[in-house]
A and B are shown apart, each in its own frame.
Chain A
Amino acid sequence: DTGVSQNPRHKITKRGQNVTFRCDPISEHNRLYWYRQTLGQGPEFLTYFQNEAQLEKSRLLSDRFSAERPKGSFSTLEIQRTEQGDSAMYLCASSTHRLSYNEQFFGPGTRLTVL
């Protein structure tokens, strides 16, 4: 297993376009998280899945954002009608319920630039 992977690594789009990012977690990790990180700040939580169920959503996740995790494996994060303020690094992490302390394994992120 090579860890959490994210695609694409970079995305440049024009304001108003829709974008979709993909996250492949570590095999058999039933928990999956999305975070957003802007320059100079720590990551901010967006949403959390346990298996295919989306159990938590941050207030940061406006109705232009939607995340899915069909079949409890990979996940997608879609941003509709992108705005310049959406420019950030989008990080995905996964963890397993088998570890009591919920160590999260992060992917390399997708850097979004909205022009």
Chain B
Amino acid sequence: DAKTTQPNSMESNEEEPVHLPCNHSTISGTDYIHWYRQLPSQGPEYVIHGLTSNVNNRMASLAIAEDRKSSTLILHRATLRDAAVYYCILTGSARQLTFGSGTQLTVLP
């Protein structure tokens, strides 16, 4: 599986935008980029996914570099409830998700 690299931790102030980066330089042409997050004491939850184009949904936006070697998850206005571990995952033909260590996001009031 292609590997992703994320910062171990990031901080943000409440109600400010947050940009969570992910590097995936060995991504293949058929790999989708998925983001999941895991709130404390809960299972992971799906956030967003994309292939080549930028994507928006009610939770976040996903900006994908033109060469697809990196992507950025954007939370437009962070709230305290967004404090979680955010995982960037590449999915190809495999059904299972391969999680890394993710980025621990701390939101400061």
Contacts and interface: CB of A to CB of B under 8 A. Distances in A.
Closest 10 CB pairs of A and B: A42-B99, A106-B43, A45-B96, A103-B46, A43-B99, A106-B44, A91-B43, A101-B49, A48-B95, A107-B43
Contact of B102 (A42, A55, A105): A42
Interface of A: 4, 31, 33, 35, 40-45, 48, 50, 55-56, 58, 91, 93, 95, 101-109
Question: Which residue among A42, A50, A56, A95 has the maximum number of chain B CB atoms within 10 Å of its CB?
Answer: A42
Interface residues of B, number: 20
Contacts of A42: 85, 87, 99-102
A56 B98 CA distance: 14
A21 to B, nearest CB: 13
Nearest to A31: B95
A40 B85 CA distance: 10
Interface string B11-30: 00000000000000000000
Contacts of B41: 108
A22 to B, nearest CB: 15
A48 B99 CA distance: 15
B14 to A, nearest CB: 25
A41 B101 contact: yes
A58 B46 CA distance: 22
Nearest to B89: A42
Interface in B67-109: 85, 87, 91, 95-102
B46 A48 contact: no
A94 to B, nearest CB: 11
A45 B97 contact: yes
Contacts of A102: 91, 95
